[in-house]
Structures are given as structure tokens and as C-alpha cells.
Structure 1
Amino acid sequence: MPHGQIRSNHVNGLAWATLFQPAKLNALSLAMWQQVPDAIARAEADPLVRAIVMTGEGEKAFSAGADIGQFADQRSGEAAVLVYEEAVSAAFHAVLHAGKPTIALIRGVCFGGGFALSLCCDLRYAREDARFRIPAARLGLGYASANVDVMVRKLGLGAASELLLTARAIDSAEALRLGAVQRLWPAGSFDAEAAKALQAIAQNAPLTLRAMKAALNECVTLEANRNFANADRLVEACFRSADYREGQAAFKEKREPDFKGE
């Protein structure tokens, strides 16, 4: 496994996609970028999966960013650069347009392409030791427009400009303030709190989550290209579902609902 991999594991309603190259702080190799869409597709196809979780192997990093050690071979020359950028764009597209909720769990370093990949997720939950940075301007490399687009979508133009143009690192508290993460926990309680938050999502009505995801995806599409027809069809399906009837019954009976995605 010289160039890392995305390790997939489906358990308790969650599909885990783990960035695995711990010797390089889970730096993303070309092979890893290429494996992201497959991991998302497997999660989408599994009827038992309610949500998709992306994380990094170990305690030190979500990801240090792109694997700079590969740049001489994989990002030099027009053809090689095109292959690499297409792989990154495909990975971003797969996560951004997943039909199921996507959550990034972030410990330690979350830099460069790893930071951008986490921003493709719907939610980001971080440990207090997490650090975030887009160092492209200090490396002299071109930062693909797909990466910039993701940052502006998720953070707004001002915050994205600040992080891109200064190349400075920010701590987890500033990341929370900027909206780069939604929830933050100390190291001692991170695993337990994150597990509770993930299960809370996984226990929600799957058809409702899918309809919400479709609408959310359209909301970040250019206004001229928006089409809410599919999202509206999914909303209608919710009201015809057994889960809708179960939700109503559970509310009346003052108990937790048991949703089946049907």
C-alpha cells in the first residue's frame, strides 16, 4: 500500500470512508482521490447505510492535504495535471452530491485538499486540537477552481478569500466561528460525543433525509441551473411512506420512532 487508500466499512447504519496513509498524515495520493467516488457509491448502494462518515486514520490528522511527494510525477506536464485535477473534481462531486448525509470527523491536521474535501461534506465535527489551512499560496501551485468553488460555497467569499490569500493556519475555535465546522468537542469526549451525534442522524427518517439532501444540493447550484423537481418528488414520497405513518404514531405514543426507509 505505497500510496495510501480509502478504507470503507459499513456498520450500525454508517458508512465509514477512512483516509488511510498515516505515515504521511493521511496525505491524499492520486489513488486515494480516485477511490473516493467508489467509496461513496458503495455507501449509496447499501440500503442499511443512513449516513456517510469521512475521517482520517489515527489521532494526528484528518489529512495533511495532497501528497506532495507525488507532485513530480503526478502534477507535472499538462496531461498528468489534467488526470490529477479530474480525479480531485470527481471526488468532490461524489461527496457534494451524495444522496445521503455526509459528515467529516476531524482530528488534528486538516490542510489543503483534505480541508477542501471535508468542506464537501454536509457537516464537519472537529476535535479541539484540529487545525485548518490552505497553504497553496506558500507552495506556488495552482489551486483548482473546483477547490475554490467549494470553499466559497461553504464559507462565503470573505472567509474563503482570507484563508486562500493569506495561507495562514486557523485553530478549531476560529474554524467554528467561520462555519468551517459545526460542532467542536475536547479530546476526552470527542469520540463519545461524535458517536452520539452520528447515531442521531442515522436514526432519522431516511426518505426525509434524502429529500432534504436533494433540496440542499440544489440550493448551492447556480440559480439559473436549479431544478427542485427531483427534491419535490422525494418530498412527496415521504408523505406516502410507512416511515411517515411511523413518525406520526411514535409522536402520539410518546416513543422513539423506528424508521425503515420505506
Structure 2
Amino acid sequence: MKQIRDFAAGRIRAESHDGVGLLVIDNPERKNAVTAAMWRSIPHAVHWLCGEAGARAIVLSGAGGRDFSAGADISEFPVVRKDTATARLYEADNSSAFAAIRAARVPVIAAIRGICYGGGFGLAAACDLRIADDTAAFAVPAARLGLAYPADAVQDFARSLGDQMARRALYTGAAMRAAELLACGFLLNITTPDTLDDKVLTLAETIATNAPLSVQASKLALRAAAEKDDDLLREAEVTGASTFESADYAEGRRAFAEKRKPVFTGE
């Protein structure tokens, strides 16, 4: 059954169907720039998809078929970033959105086409997997605006781009093409524009059909390694150990013996 819910007056759309969640940045007339209200709504949308909607994998994309996201909506800056106090509140909303993607219980896949700049690039960097089409362009223009990028998001860039590419992106603000980011490992694959959606959906469906507890344990362990977090490592160990007595493990063994595809329930 398809479930749909809108956030930020419809500018953030969430859908779930057959275990695959869709999280859509819907502001195409401004190249899917993210307003303050949209930043605040992203954690709520992720929470809904992972919880009530039952998503086992999430695809993050931009609406309109042209751009992923131009990043923060700069037209709001005279109000939402007018001084230190307001800028810190705004940055906290940014960080909460990045953290929601990064720490989502299920894998999040970015489907990237066109512009992927600034905060949009940050959202993609927080994802588990990223596939782009050959129109994609990436940049972090903070240094050209006289701003510092949120420190937690800088860490996402360091992990996903690698040290040298992250430094280049942050120090220069220069645009980069998809081929460069495939070469450094930021992207899993590059597709043509007409095949991007199908490639990403196929990947999400493959993840969604696997045992949820197994996938969650793997994501926790990978995060623990990347973030050097002992608490996450212990959580990954507990989640992994829970699979030994799970109904899904029993189902996996039965399906293997019966030479059929398993049907996992997450229990």
C-alpha cells in the first residue's frame, strides 16, 4: 500500500511503497533550493518514512527532473542568517537535517541530476549511496559567500569525497563534474538522464527485499567505523547478535533449502 505525506507545505514530499521510501525536495522553480522550513522538516520526514511508513530503503531526489538541489535558499539569508544568533539557529537546523539522513535506520540513496550545490551537496554527502546522471554538477560555494560550512557536514565531505577532494571543494568553491566524483568514490555509478530513476529504484528495491535487521546492523557498523564511535559499534554488535534468533534468519535458511526467494519481515 502506498503511503504519502507532505511536510513544509508540500516542499518536502515523502512516499513509501513496498518497502521503498521516496524523499523529494520539491522546490523546482528555485532549483530545489531548501528553505528554513524545509530544513526543519527533513528530520520529521525521515522519521516518518523509517517508522510509520515502514521504508527499508529511502531514495532522496529533487523534483522537476532537472536539479537535485541548489542548496540553502539564499533569498532568506537577510532574515534567517542576519546575525550570529540567527545564523547559529539556522545552522543547527541544517545539521539536524544532515544528521537525520546520516543516522537514518535504513540506507538512504541520493539520485542526483543537474545542480547539487551547497546544502544539497551536503545532503547527498550524508547519504549511504549516491548515483548521478551525466548532467550532475557539484560545488560547495560557502567560501565564495563568506560563510563557514557546518562542521559536521564537513566531516561528511571528508568521508565521502576523500581528504584531497574535500579540501579542494571547500577551499575553492569550484564546480566539479560527475566523472570526477565517480573517480574519487563519491558516486557509485553514473547513468544517462533517462535511466537514473530506474537504476536507483532497482538498487533501493534490492536493499528493501533483504533482511532489515541485517542491513541495519551493517549500516551501524559502517557508521561506527567511519565516525570512530564506540557507542555505535556496541549498538551494531547488539543488533547483529539479535539476527541469530530472528524469524528472518529462520526464513533465510528455509528459503535457501527450498530454493526460493526469502520473504523477510524484519522480525
Structure 1 contact 5–35 (Cα < 8 Å) conserved: no
Q: 1:40 aligns with which of 31, 43, 46?
A: 46
Equivalent of 1:203 in 209, 215, 220: 209
**Does 2:190 align with 1:184?**
yes
Structure 1 counterpart SS, 2:37: helix
What's the CA shift for 1:150? Answer: 1.4
Query: Any stretches of 5+ residues in structure 2 without a counterpart?
Result: 1-6
For residue 245 of structure 1, the aligned residue among 245, 250, 262 is 250
Q: Does 1:21 align with 2:27?
A: yes
Alignment of 1:231-242 (within 5 A): 231-242=236-247
Cα offset, 1:201, TM superposition: 0.9
Runs of 5+ unmatched residues, structure 1: none
Letter in 1 for 2:98: F
Q: Which amino acid aligns with 1:216?
A: L
Distance change (3 Å), C-alpha of 1:80 and 1:3: farther
Q: Does 1:261 align with 2:266?
A: yes
Identity %: 39
Q: Could you tell me how far 1:148 is from its partner in structure 2?
A: 1.2
Cα separation, partners in 2 of 1:188 and 1:80, compared to 1, 3 Å: same
Higher alpha-carbon deviation: 186-195 or 73-82: 186-195
Could you tell me whether the CA contact under 8 Å between 1:3 and 1:29 is conserved in 2? no
Query: Structure 1 207/51 Cα, relative in aligned 2: closer, same or farther at 3 Å?
Result: same
Secondary structure, counterpart of 1:61 in structure 2: coil
TM-score normalised by L of structure 2? 0.92
Is the Cα contact below 8 Å between 2:109 and 2:128 reproduced in 1? yes
Aligned length: 261
- Offset at 1:94? 1.2
Give the alignment of 1:149-160 within 5 angstroms. Answer: 149-160=155-166
Say whether the 8 Å CA contact 2:111–2:196 is kept in structure 1: no
Provide the residue aligned with 2:89 in structure 1.
83
Q: Which stretch shifts more, 64-73 or 148-157?
A: 148-157
RMSD: 1.8
Query: When the two structures are superposed, what TM-score results if normalisation uses the length of structure 1?
Result: 0.94
2:258 is matched by which residue type in structure 1? E
Secondary structure of the structure 1 residue equivalent to 2:59? strand
One of 63, 82, 86 as aligned partner of 2:69: 63
Pick from 184, 193, 198: which aligns with 2:199?
A: 193
**Which AA in structure 1 matches 2:250?**
R
For residue 144 of structure 1, the aligned residue among 144, 150, 157 is 150
Q: Is the 8 A contact 1:4 1:28 kept in 2?
A: no
